[in-house]
């Protein structure tokens, strides 16, 4: 069984090697090692250790993706290659119907689409298309991301593509530290269902909405294509790698950063702020009322 010193040392090594802002790693490393030397973690173990180290990491560097995570089920400590991590992600999405929980018609021909994960643009395309086909003839659409906890940047771009007329909209960019490269994300030229144009679109948000869900909300808001209703989101904008440290502990390291082509920045640490602020539990009713008023 590794000691806390070994666990924290391995986690810090991963952060130093991969964190998207290399200028911050010395500060992060010094802050955590000074607490370690002072005995701050001596009596901690399991989830409590992970929660405490995560709080200290985010105290010195408020990045919501920078975390130590505890898993009850043991995991392999072998390094997870990119293909293996992607396979696990795709398997999770298949088990969750590519993140789509339900579609319903509300009064006044308003569509309500509940999305809990942002699927991969490849495997998820047909399911996303099926959902958008159901919404195709509605008068307004409410995209419910209140329980959406993340997903794929490519999938976020695909979701956004449905609300623009063609492939000429440059949505955002993602800078990758390891390669020094920047990948551009544009609207897709071909989609498996009709685009949703010239009608009101609402996005529901909550304090739970995170990462890929925030990407969709932020991008549609920045480009003026949706009205956001609900609560300020959790604030995690950095694509992240996950590394096993022990059989039960992993460290998540943000390795890239998203940059909006409209704002020049992102929602990291501040969240996505809705246009119509309301409690998450009241957001659907508020958006529905506004949609009925606009389409009457």
pLDDT digits (tens, 9 = 90+) for 61-73: 999 899 999 999 9
- Ranges 4-13, 49-58, 69-78, 246-255: which has the least confidence: 69-78
Tell me the C-alpha distance between 293 and 288, whole Å. 9
Tokens 């602020």, located at residue: 277
Judged against a pLDDT cut of 90, whether residue 209 lies above it is answered with yes
Range of the domain at 66: 4-70
Helix (H, G, I), strand (E, B) or coil at 80: coil
Q: Are residues 9 and 103 in the same domain?
A: no
Residues 6+ apart with CB under 8 A from 222: 260, 262, 263
Q: Are residues 101 and 66 in the same domain?
A: no
* pLDDT band at residue 80 using 50, 70 and 90 as cut-offs: low
Judged against a pLDDT cut of 90, whether residue 284 lies above it is answered with yes
CA atoms within 13 A on the CB side of 136: 12
* pLDDT band at residue 81 using 50, 70 and 90 as cut-offs: low
Residue 223 lies in a domain: yes
Nearest CA to 170 among 218, 236, 223, 129?
223
Judged against a pLDDT cut of 80, whether residue 23 lies above it is answered with yes
Q: Quote the pLDDT of residue 77.
A: 81
Residue 259 lies in a domain: no
Tokens 């790693």, located at residue: 25
- CATH number for position 134: 3.90.226.10
Residues 6+ apart with CB under 8 A from 11: 53, 68, 245, 249, 251
Share of the chain above pLDDT 90, in %: 90
* pLDDT band at residue 82 using 50, 70 and 90 as cut-offs: low
Tokens 């391995």, located at residue: 10
Q: Are residues 161 and 110 in the same domain?
A: yes
The bridge status of strand 276-277 relative to strand 181-186 is unpaired
Residue 247 lies in a domain: no
Mean pLDDT of 47-74: 95
Most distant pair of Cα atoms in the chain: their distance? 65
Q: What is the mean pLDDT of the chain?
A: 95
Q: Quote the pLDDT of residue 250.
A: 95
Q: Are residues 231 and 193 in the same domain?
A: yes
Residue 194 lies in a domain: yes
Judged against a pLDDT cut of 70, whether residue 83 lies above it is answered with no
Q: Are residues 47 and 193 in the same domain?
A: no
Across the strands, what pairs with 174? 183, 258
Residue 91 lies in a domain: no
Q: Are residues 221 and 121 in the same domain?
A: yes
Q: Quote the pLDDT of residue 296.
A: 87
Tell me the C-alpha distance between 275 and 259, whole Å. 21
Q: E strands, 67-208, where? A: 67-70, 100-106, 110-115, 140-144, 170-176, 181-186, 201-205
Q: Are residues 119 and 8 in the same domain?
A: no
Share of the chain above pLDDT 70, in %: 98
Residue 55 lies in a domain: yes
Judged against a pLDDT cut of 70, whether residue 190 lies above it is answered with yes
Residues 6+ apart with CB under 8 A from 19: 25, 28, 66, 177, 253, 254, 255
Q: Are 128 and 116 in contact (CB under 8 A)?
A: no
Tell me the C-alpha distance between 263 and 237, whole Å. 14
Judged against a pLDDT cut of 80, whether residue 84 lies above it is answered with no
Q: Are residues 190 and 288 in the same domain?
A: yes
Q: Are residues 52 and 165 in the same domain?
A: no
Judged against a pLDDT cut of 80, whether residue 251 lies above it is answered with yes
Helical ranges in 209-256 per DSSP H: 212-222
Structure tokens at 198: 């010239």
Residue 264 lies in a domain: no
Q: Quote the pLDDT of residue 106.
A: 98
Count: domains in the chain: 2
Where among 23, 53, 70 does a domain terminate? 70
Q: Are residues 63 and 112 in the same domain?
A: no
Residue 183 lies in a domain: yes
Judged against a pLDDT cut of 90, whether residue 12 lies above it is answered with yes
Q: Are residues 60 and 169 in the same domain?
A: no
Q: Quote the pLDDT of residue 204.
A: 98
Tell me the C-alpha distance between 206 and 281, whole Å. 9
Q: Are residues 12 and 126 in the same domain?
A: no
Return left, alpha or beta for 112; rule: phi > 0 is left, psi -120 to 50 is alpha, else beta: beta
């Amino acid at each position: 069984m590794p000691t806390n010193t070994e666990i924290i040392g391995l986690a810090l090594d991963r952060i130093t090697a991969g964190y998207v802002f290399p200028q911050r790693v010395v500060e992060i490393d010094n802050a955590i090692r000074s607490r370690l030397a002072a005995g701050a973690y001596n009596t901690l173990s399991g989830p409590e250790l992970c929660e405490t180290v995560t709080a200290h990491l985010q105290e010195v560097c408020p990045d919501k993706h920078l975390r130590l995570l505890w898993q009850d089920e043991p995991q392999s400590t072998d390094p997870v290659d990119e293909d293996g991590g992607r396979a696990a992600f795709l398997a999770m999405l298949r088990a969750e119907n590519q993140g789509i929980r339900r579609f319903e018609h509300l009064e006044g021909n308003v569509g309500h689409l509940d999305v809990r994960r942002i699927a991969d643009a490849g495997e998820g395309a047909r399911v996303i298309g099926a959902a958008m086909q159901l919404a195709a003839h509605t008068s307004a659409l409410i995209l419910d991301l209140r329980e959406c906890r993340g997903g794929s940047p490519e999938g976020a771009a695909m979701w956004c593509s449905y609300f623009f007329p063609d492939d000429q909209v440059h949505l955002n960019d993602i800078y990758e530290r390891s390669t020094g490269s920047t990948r551009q994300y544009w609207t897709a030229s071909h989609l498996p269902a009709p685009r949703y144009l010239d009608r009101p679109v609402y996005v529901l948000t909550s304090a739970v909405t995170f990462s890929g869900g925030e990407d969709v909300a932020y991008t549609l808001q920045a480009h003026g294509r949706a009205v956001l209703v609900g609560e300020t989101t959790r604030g995690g904008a950095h694509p992240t790698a996950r590394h096993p440290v022990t059989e039960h502990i992993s460290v998540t390291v943000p390795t890239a950063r998203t940059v909006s082509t409209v704002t020049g920045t992102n929602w990291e640490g501040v969240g996505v702020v809705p246009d119509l602020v309301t409690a998450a539990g009241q957001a659907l009713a508020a958006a529905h009322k506004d949609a009925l008023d606009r389409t009457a």
